[in-house]
Chain A
């Protein structure tokens, strides 16, 4: 079935068009993004249960962007209590109050050209099997309750087993004088997490998930996740501390994705180029990785949790080759950064929600596959680790440092697993060394869309990343 576009937004459209027209008398450019995204979150464990109709992407509201005299301003709101004329007047007055403060403080504008407004109409309703707003919640809660109980039976020493899921039916409408874009799609993610004490009393955590640009049907996959978790927990409970040092590593697709995201994903967000905050700007056309290193980015790359048709600034989704056989080709760009850099936007202008500013943000960030088998890769390792289980990562676009906190490492000696597992693993290093060291990549690849991504320490959005198994070298601690 098609995910139907929001009737609320359809009804709102004439009013927002009128608002754009009225504001157009005072400003040279006006755009309005309106959102109406519904969904749910379900969390079921042995200790507590929760169902709510909200999650990180549910929202209903509007953001108006205007341009005058080289300056962009925005007004976000979610209440329309009077007429459209009164709303326009409120927006003008409130922005004028800000301009007065800026004048008092002698603030100059970062002069930016006006956005183009080429005519375009788009209406996209993506396929989904089910809708979150129509999901049989009784059946979902019952299934999760059963899976949690199953996890408690099978996962060693489990203190609890938490099933978590969220699903959102995203509906967004973008309009200007010449543009009218509407899109509707569903994404869903789910996970199972268990925790248990090891012999020393330290709590160990085992986790895995499913996700996709689809309805809650993807949550059926959690049964397999629950079946696999006991083995992961056994490994975590028996894990030791790693001896710090530099090792050969094989990253599983999840960790390959984490590296793609942290190493060059953030490093080529081109709003950082405008601020001269990214070293990548100086390396376009230069080598930053080995020949086996090719990386794509874009909402069109994969039908994941972030596979939209247009971004939050009304730019159509793209597929950018950022690194081609080790050579940095280009970055990704929101609309305003593109104007400032004299380039074209790539469909990566994203907001946490309607009330937040748009920044250049990642969508799907993915390494291309290679031609090795996983077995060949393991056989080639003298002493190192297979790294698996994302905990967190941190970008460093200015200096190309990288920090990834990884759940566990499986020791490999002389081409075979020793059975020893280390946890946690902090991988640090210099990005070109890490990517330059990629000497093998597997034929398969996988993309994961669980969790979110911040810019600095805020502005959380959905992203997905992945790739094949990669072999390189890194410092582990």
Chain B
């Protein structure tokens, strides 16, 4: 198929192109309680094509499309011809495709059957009780093979596992039953961590049965100790992306502090090529560039941008790449020290969000622990809102870290003076 596509590209007279062949094998198991609702297998292959053409005024045209492996010769010809024409309409400042050869890593088959079996077995080993148990879960285990080739002769292939399990948990007291949602992503199955995290969530579920309405707190320190905190740190990586900076959605600049008057912990964030059991554990990005470890932010000062070649080159960062794995260094204080005084630790939001563009923080509280005046109350309801620009100078985070799939972040993060809309 690749050769058929290349022949047509040549026939069009196109000399700048990229091809991406992606093959995804997936095994899926859907459970209601511990009974199998449905089992599924998927075998899907796609051929992504981007064609470029130099245009007047130093501009570069580009357009893309996708071909099915069942495409006929006529369909391939028409699709590519359309893409090549459309490339003449899309006028962007010129940039260059990757021209540095990169060696493909050794390709190892992913044993999706064995990984799926581990997930199924692990879920059967989670300690459940009569009042706290698993409602349902969905297991997805994938082997992804990504082959990249461009007109500069750069060619590479990566193959990696990517897994996800979505778990619904219940706790009940008499007629009263509550539900919690968890979604764990990883490379393969870490059975011990899956059981530990699921059982921890079951304990939260039990606590949610005995909540009282969140009181009106006006502004209060909020502690993040779950995967919701990833959203906070994604804000920092988004702000360092070339796409955001070029589009003027971020004004962070290498060499400049990300905030003024920083009195809390100053963030250091690194992009890393390899991160064990991440679902993005591969050394070559989607544009054929080697992913190298680099510091994005060092002690609160922007250092390196990352992102698509197009935008990185526009900003003068020639040697960058798309990054997926990020590691945030721990802060100066221990978790115990961060957990001092009065604070609200929210461990369940309906949907916690940090807006990458405006920095707005928002989430409805579904389960929180209100530490106030030496007492702990379990609360539910109301919302947390705030603004990243306002909390960065004083944010604190623990020395201890925790991995959530492709992110390693401080185990606890304290954002000061967020707005709490209570309901009591």
Contact = CB atoms under 8 A, between A and B. Distances in A.
Interface stretch (A180-188, A314-322, A394-402): A394-402
Contact of A477 (B120, B166, B353, B382): B382
Interface residues of B, number: 86
B249 interface: yes
B41 A74 contact: yes
A426 B248 contact: no
A394 B79 CA distance: 39
A141 interface: yes
Contacts of B421: 244-245, 426, 428, 475-477
B44, B135, B419, B420, most chain A CB atoms within 10 A: B44
A430 B308 CA distance: 43
A335 to B, nearest CB: 12
Interface string B124-148: 1000000000011000000000000
A99 B38 CA distance: 11
Interface of B: 24, 26-32, 34-46, 62-66, 68-70, 75, 79, 82-83, 85-87, 89-92, 113, 116-117, 120-121, 124, 135-136, 164, 166, 168, 177-179, 181, 183, 216, 246-249, 251, 310-311, 350-351, 353, 355, 357-360, 362-364, 366, 381-383, 385, 387, 389, 419-421, 423
A203 interface: yes
A50 B117 CA distance: 42
Given A60-B70, A71-B38, A106-B124, 19 more contacts: A45-B247, A47-B247, A48-B92, A48-B246, A49-B91, A49-B92, A54-B65, A77-B43, A141-B90, A160-B248, A201-B251, A202-B358, A202-B359, A275-B135, A396-B366, A399-B179, A403-B351, A403-B364, A477-B421
B178 A399 contact: yes
B41 A76 contact: yes
A398 B179 contact: yes
A107 B40 contact: no
A75 B41 contact: yes
A456 B181 contact: yes
Contacts of B35: 107-110
A405 B121 CA distance: 39
B364 A159 contact: no
Interface string A134-155: 0001100100000000000000
Contacts of B135: 275-277
A203 B43 contact: no
19 contacts: A76-B43, A77-B43, A99-B39, A108-B35, A108-B36, A200-B389, A203-B358, A203-B359, A244-B421, A357-B38, A392-B353, A394-B364, A396-B366, A399-B178, A403-B363, A403-B364, A405-B353, A424-B385, A475-B423
Interface string A23-63: 00000000000000000000001011111111000101100
Contact of A98 (B24, B27, B311): B27
A240 interface: no
B82 A275 contact: no
A353 B70 CA distance: 17
Contacts of B24: 355
Overall SS of chain A's interface: mixed
A357 B68 contact: no
The 3 closest A-B pairs by CB, nearest first: A477-B421, A53-B65, A244-B421
A274 B32 contact: yes
A79 interface: yes
A102 interface: yes
